[in-house]
Amino acid sequence: MGIKERQERDREAVRRSILDAARDLFVTEGYQNVSIRKVAERVEYSPAAIYGYFQNKDDIFFALAEEGFRLLGDPRAEPNRSHLEKLAPVERVRANFWRLYEFSREQPQYFALMFVDRSVPRISREYERFAFAREMKAHAVEGIQACIDAGEFPRSLDPAVAMRTLLVGLLGVAVMALSERLAPGESADDLASDVLNLTLAGLKSGLVLQSRGLDCPLEEPVADAQAS
């Protein structure tokens, strides 16, 4: 390994340690209560050294959010993509939204930062950086539109509103599980499955949704959506 490659490897290792430390601190202490100095103390570097990797605390959060969305992943890029494409439209929607719930179990720290903490900066500030996250939202809406086109959902259904309804239902279960608000012995998996099944059944039945289409991006925290 050459000197340049070794330097790049070492720099990436330091960057990784900063991100890991910041993610843990943001989740355990709250984003607004964490400073660059506190992150530096955790990784045993000077604050000035941290600024050699990130411009400020917000920049660290945006890097973590970007990682989180890539971990959540585009279902079209998953290894089982060919299997998903063989499913009926409604079953593809079910699988894609179940992936969001799985993400909350697999990556609870990323999930908490991306969807729960109200104090984090809005991802919309980094419009270009998160274009792929908007594409994920568009893909989810397209999946519901495919159900409408196939006659499985009524023509009157607004696919964006249906997407939002499915999203909020599963995120609600995930937040309850993450905050340990479920009853003793209650299965978060079973509850999430019930919410998903009931919502899909309601959409199939032609139930008229009361909410209207709004520009509510996938990447906004749940708490912000509830407050609005």
Give the pLDDT confidence of 108-163 residue by residue, as tens digits. 999 999 999 889 998 888 878 888 888 888 999 999 999 999 999 999 999 999 99
Query: What is the Cα–Cα distance from 203 to 209, expressed in whole angstroms?
Result: 9
Query: What is the Cα–Cα distance from 204 to 158, expressed in whole angstroms?
Result: 13
Tell me which long-range contacts 202-209 makes (C-beta under 8 A, separation of at least 24): 203/147, 203/153, 203/157, 203/162, 203/165, 204/90, 204/152, 204/153, 206/154, 206/156, 208/156, 209/157, 209/158, 209/161, 209/162, 209/165
pTM over 0.85: no
Q: What residue ranges define each of the domains in the chain, with the CATH number in brackets?
A: 3-54 (1.10.10.60), 66-227 (1.10.357.10)
Tokens encoding 171? 């995120």
pLDDT digits (tens, 9 = 90+) for 177-218: 999 999 999 999 999 999 999 999 999 999 999 987 655 544
